Structure 1
Amino acid sequence: MPRRGRLSLSLLLSCMAQSPPRRAERCFVAELPGSELVYFTCSRSAPLGAAALRPRGFLPPPGRCYSFCIPPAQSPRERVRAARLHGQLQQRLSRAPLGAGARVLPLLSYSPADAAAPEPGFLVQATQAAAEAERALEELLRLHLPAPVHLSVYEEAADGQVWRTLWRLQGAPEGKELLGRVRVLPAPEPLSHPAAAHLLGAAVFGSREAARGVLEECTSLIPEAKAVLDLVDKCPKLPKKGDFPVIVIEGLDATGKTTVTQSLRDSLGAVLLKTPPSCVSQWRKTFDDEPTLVRRAFYALTNYIVASEIAKESTKSPVIIDRFWHSTAAYAIATEISGKVLNLPPLHHPVYCWPEDLLKPDVVILLTVSPEERIRRLQERGIEKTREEEELEANRFFHQKVEGSYRRMENPSCELVDASGSREQVLEDVLHQIKKHFPLL
C-alpha cells in the first residue's frame, strides 16, 4: 500500500510521460501546521490533468505564498555562517510585519537526481495579498542574504492551478527582475526524508573530530567555542572503561531521571556524572541559542569530556550518567527531520549507531511517561525550559520523534522502563534491568 501523501502510481507515470524530469529541476518539502509534509516541484510544461494537480494545503486562499532558501555553503566556515544566518532569519521573520494570520514554515529544497545536501529555507503563507507585507519581506532578504537574492511568489490562477513567479531582488528598495513563471505541481514523496542522508556531520556527529571541526570554525564568532575546545583537547583520545559497570539513564525532562540517578548512586555506591558536565554548564545558554549545527557540535563534544571522567571513575566504582550520547543524537534527529515520526530514518540507519571513538556504556535505560504526565510534572516544577523542551510541550509530534529516535538507537540500544509509577517501583524496575546484565550488583 502506498504511503499517505504520495501520488498514485498511474498518475505519477502519466506526469512522467508528459513531462520527464530534468536534472536541473528542484523539489521542495514544507512542513505545514500539524506537522504534515507537502512535497512540490515546478515545471514549465503541464502534464495531462494538471488543472486537478496542486500541492495540498499549500496556498491559503485568497492569499499568496513566498519562499526562499539559504545559499549552499562551499566550505566548513560558510556552513557555520549559513546555519547562523538561517537562525537569524527565523527570528527576524517572526517579527516581520507579514499581516494577520501569516505563517512562517520550514522548507527544504533538494534534488532527487543527486546526493547534494538539501538547502534550508522558509515558506511564508500570507492569508491576504498585502503589498506592504511583500515589501517588508523583500527588504529583509536584501538586508540579510548575499546577492543575488531570489524570491519565489506563489499565486492561484483562474483555472485553479498554482504558479510560481521567480524574482531576483536588486539593490534598490524597489528594484527586482522577473526571471520566469512556472506551474507548481505535487512531487512524489521520496522513500526517505531529504535530510536523512545528511544527518551525520550536520546534526549528529559520528566522531570527536567531526564535532571539533565545527566548533573550530566558530571560534571567531563565538568566544566560548575556544574554551570548549581547550577542555576537549585535554581529554585523552579513546579512553578505556574500567572494570566497574557504566550505566546511562536517558529520558525527556520530567521523566524522573534526577530521582532515579540519585537513588542508583546511593543503592549501588556509584559515582554520579551528568552531561553536559559542570565545567561547561555555564556556556549552555550560549550554545542553546545557536543553530542545530553548532548546538549539536557543542553537546557532542561534552560527551567526550564526560567520557574521560567515566574512564577514570569506572576503575574505582560503578558509574551512573544522567544522559549521554543517545540524548544528543535523539534531539538532533527530531529537530532536523520535519514532519511526524514516520519520517524518521529507518531502523539500522547509521545515524542511530554509537560513535566508534566514544567510550561505550554497559547499560542504557530509557525512562518513559505519557506526554500528559510529563507536562503535568514540568508545570509543577516551574523551572526554566530550553527551546527544545518548549517545543516538546507545544508539539506532540516532536515529542514522538525524540522518543522514536531513542527507541531506534543500537549498539547499545535503550532498555525501556515505565517511569509513571511510584519512586520505589520505578527504582525497582530500573535495578531489575541493570541486574539482568550484572547479577552480582
Structure 2
Amino acid sequence: MSLREASCYTLTLSPAAKDPAVVELLESFGPPTKGKETPRYARVKERREDEAYSAAVYDVLTGARLSSAGYGAEKGKRRRLQLHGPDEDIPFEFTGKINSEWSFQFEGNKYRWTREVYGKDYICSIDRKPDPRVEICLARDSDRNNPGRLQILHYNIDRFPDEIKDLRGLETLLVTSLLCLLDAADDRSTSLAVVRPGKTGLSPSPKESIPVPPPPPPRVISEEDFEPENPNEIVVRVNSNVDDHIARAVNLLEDPNILFIVIRTRTAEATQRALEVSLGVTRFRHREELADLHQYVIEEEVPVSKRTVRPGPKVIKLDPEPTRVDSPQRSLSGKSAKRWTPPPNIAIYLSTIKLPDLEPGRREHRATQPATAPPAQRPTPSPSQSQPSSTDPSTPSSKSRTSSFGKLFKH
C-alpha cells in the first residue's frame, strides 16, 4: 500500500502475536523500514456490560490511558469517544448521506472521516464551510499483502494554528476514531459470515449429515457483459443498486475535469431505476448547496446486433387468435387505448454546463433534416397528398416517442 506522501508521519498497525485484543501502532518518519519502527500507541479491547464493543488507546512509553471508544450496536448512529487525563466526551456520530461518513467535534472544529463506496482509503478532513475541506489524515485497512497504516498530514494541520491548538489531543482522537471504524468493519464482516448448522453450534459429529446446497444455475452470458462502459457513463439494469449508482455519479461530478455524466438503460424495466438515480443525485447536490445540474433525457435507437441470423421457414397461422380475458385500458373519452410503456434505451445527461445539441428544440430540428438529399433537391408534395398520421404503420414512430418522452421527463 502506498500513501500520498512517503515522508509524512506514519503509524503502522501491527497486531500482537500473543494477545489478539492488542494492536500496536508503530511510528516512522518516512518510508517504513522493517525492524526499525518503534511502537507509539497500543489499542486494547476491553469489556463493558453496556457495550458490545469497547477499546482504549494507551501510550506505550508511559502506559497512560489516553482515550477510549465503544458502541452498544454496530448499526447505531452514535458512538462513544472520550479523551482521558482529564476526561472529555467527544461527540462522534454518523453524518453520511450516501457514502460512509463519521464526524467528531473537537475544539469547536468539525472533523469528518469519509470512505468512498468504491474505494479503500479513509480520509479525515477538517470541515471549513463554506470553504472546501482540508485533508489532515489518510488511512487504509490491512489486507493480505500489506498492514493497515495511518498517515497524518502535519503540513495541512500547521495551516490552522489558531483553530488547532491541542495537537496531541487531535492525534489521539484520529487514532482512536479510526481504530473504532476499522474494528466495526471487522465485526460487520464477521457477523455476515456463514456458519454451518449443528446441534450445539460446534463442529458436527461424523454421524451428522450436513445438507449440501444445490449448485447455482449456470449464468447466462449476454452481449451486455462484453459491452465496454465509458468512465463517465452509468448503465442501470433491473437488479442494480440505486444507492451505489448515486454514489458513483456524485463522485464523478466532484471531479472538475468531468463536465457531464450519462445514465443509460438497456431495458424498459430499468427506466424507473435510472430516474431514481438522477433524482438522488439532484437531491444530494441540493442538500449540499452545490450548483444545479442541467438534465437532458433522450431516447436512443435500439442497437442492431452484428450477428447474422438465417431466416427460418415462413409459418402460416391457421388457428384463430385467443381472446384476452382482461379488457384494454380505456382513455377518458371512453375509447380503448394501449398501455404506454417506457422505451428500452434512454440516456439521461446530467451536465454542469449547457449542452445546446441536446436541447429539445434542437433535437427535433435535427431529426427533421434530410439525411441524404439537400433541401434544394427534395421534391415538394402536391396539395392532394395528405401528411401521414402518427398512427400510420408506414410512418416511423421513433420521432414521436422521442419528443413525447423528452417532454414527459423534462427537468
Determine if the TM-score, normalized by the shorter chain, exceeds 0.5. no
Q: TM-score, normalised by structure 2?
A: 0.22
Q: TM-score, normalised by structure 1?
A: 0.21
Greater relative contact order, per chain length (Cα 8 Å cut-off, separation 6+)? 1
Name the one with the larger strand percent. Answer: 2
